[in-house]
A = this chain, B = another copy of it.
Amino acid sequence: MADVLPRSGTRRREQTRARLLDAAHEVFAEVGMDAASVEMICERAGFTRGAFYSNFESKNELFLALITQLAEAKLDEVAGRVRELPVDAIDDTSGLVRQVVGASLGERMEPQLFSEIRTQALRDPALASAYLGWQDAMAARVEGIISYVVDAYDLSLRLPVAEAARLLVDVSDDTCTRATLEGRPAEEVNELMNARLERLVGVLVESRG
């Protein structure tokens, strides 16, 4: 009745919201959060600014909504991968780790948007804590899979699990970023990622049972 923004009920609304979010995803990745104008996003989505201001209060709110959705999606994806791990046929440890870590940060993940988010987080305390929370959740999942494998094979690590997880994520992140900067095709990125992660796992694992 006195809602400034209409309640999120209708079907149509959800769709245009989604299209705006998709467009924002693209545009933010291409030119960055600050250089992106509301108009650009609307144009990309096939709307006018009227639609935008009917669905969001500001570009900032849109950005927040976008990265929230993105974080959830990624966490779910990783959780999914962990769930469908081939429990019986775990023959190469690095492969497993790669499957989980690579999914989280490498592969089809455009580093542009993530770099953008991190940069923004470094300036805005609110964003910072959100970002950290999300990172921690991700790390927890990676730690989970590491512990699982280590247990299953009676291995031991040269570093605490948490530390190992962070290393893996860092390397994955850096590999992806560098490969993108070098303009390598996606396939090649995978190669590199595999190679580096495999070597790293080799170093981290102390003894095989």
Q: Which residues from chain B contact A122 at a C-beta distance below 8 Å? A: 111-112, 115, 177, 180-181
A119 touches which one: B32, B159, B183, B202 (CB < 8 A)?
Answer: B32
Residue A12 at the B interface, CB < 8 A? no
A123 touches which one: B30, B171, B196 (CB < 8 A)?
Answer: B30
CB within 8 Å for A199 and B163 given contacts A119-B116, A122-B111: yes
CB contacts under 8 Å to B, within A112-147, are 112, 115-116, 118-123, 125, 128, 131-132, 135
Q: Interface size for chain A: under 10, 10 to 19, 20 to 34, or 35 or more residues?
A: 35 or more
Residue A40 at the B interface, CB < 8 A? no
Interface on chain A toward B: helix, strand, loop, or mixed SS? helix
User: A92-122 vs B: 1/0 string, CB under 8 Å?
Assistant: 0000000000000000000110011011111
CB within 8 Å for A115 and B112 given contacts A163-B199, A181-B132: no
Residue A22 at the B interface, CB < 8 A? no
